[in-house]
Amino acid sequence: MNLPEVRGKLLLNEPLGPYTWFRVGGAADALFIPADADDLVDFLKALDPAVPVTVLGVGSNVIVRDGGVEGVVIRLAGRAWGQVTAEGETITAGAGALDAMVAKASAKAGIAGLEFFAGIPGTIGGALVMNAGCYGSETKDVLVSAKGVTQGGELRDYSVEDFGYSYRHNNYDEDVIWIEATFRGTPDDPAAVQARIDEITTRREQTQPIREKTGGSTFKNPPGHSSWKLVDEAGWRGKLHAVTGGGAKFSELHSNFMINPGEATAADIEGLGEAVRADVLAKTGVQLDWEIKRIGRPG
């Protein structure tokens, strides 16, 4: 695989487990961490279009399979990708900025409406892709516009209407690497905004296994149902899979969170999720769909 020259980091056969919250998975054929937007654009323009490209954020809601990822994995990490600025009622953030940092910046600027980002364990790039949300608010509610780079290296601007957002999904039909987003809230007292963020953070710490090796919410909520209730009522809360043994389980604290309590493989974790999906379907007739993204080749 011939790869273009870059100013950022280009690592060959780089293990991806350390870049994910589950701490599992094989290696990327190549991992590219661009120095800035120009570096990313130049790389994509020069890259052979036949080479597969996968984008990885902080790995908070992803399973990298044990066989690794073909082609180039692009990770937008570092200061160039994590900038967050406020102006008037808007917040502009790089795709690599943590969602929680956007919430923090909104409090400092006295902008209400973005507090929910404090409860989402990921980056703005991921939030754009999946219309991330929690506690009754979603990305689409506050997004104004975004900047992205096409697979061919073309910089483009997008409005929120271009995304065609629905629950945990966008209908945009082109592969785009998101590099920046602008959100709009409403003026409020900074202390009041911070108090709501503190409440969300406390609630999350009390109800989610955030200090475990986890992947966040495993399944989307089916219409009219809560995934955690379906998993719980099917008897999977805190239960080890009969096949994977101690390799993976659903959290006792929150039954829609899978955790890696020790030395699970990606196959253990994904296999547990598929077993639970099948069991819930058999017992209730309700189909659970994955919220966690699964990428790469089986081991």
Which active-site residues does the annotation give? 168, 217, 291
What is the C-alpha to C-alpha distance for residues 48 and 151, in angstroms, rounded to an integer? 10
Whole-angstrom CA distances from 45 to 7, 96, 115 are: 14, 21, 37
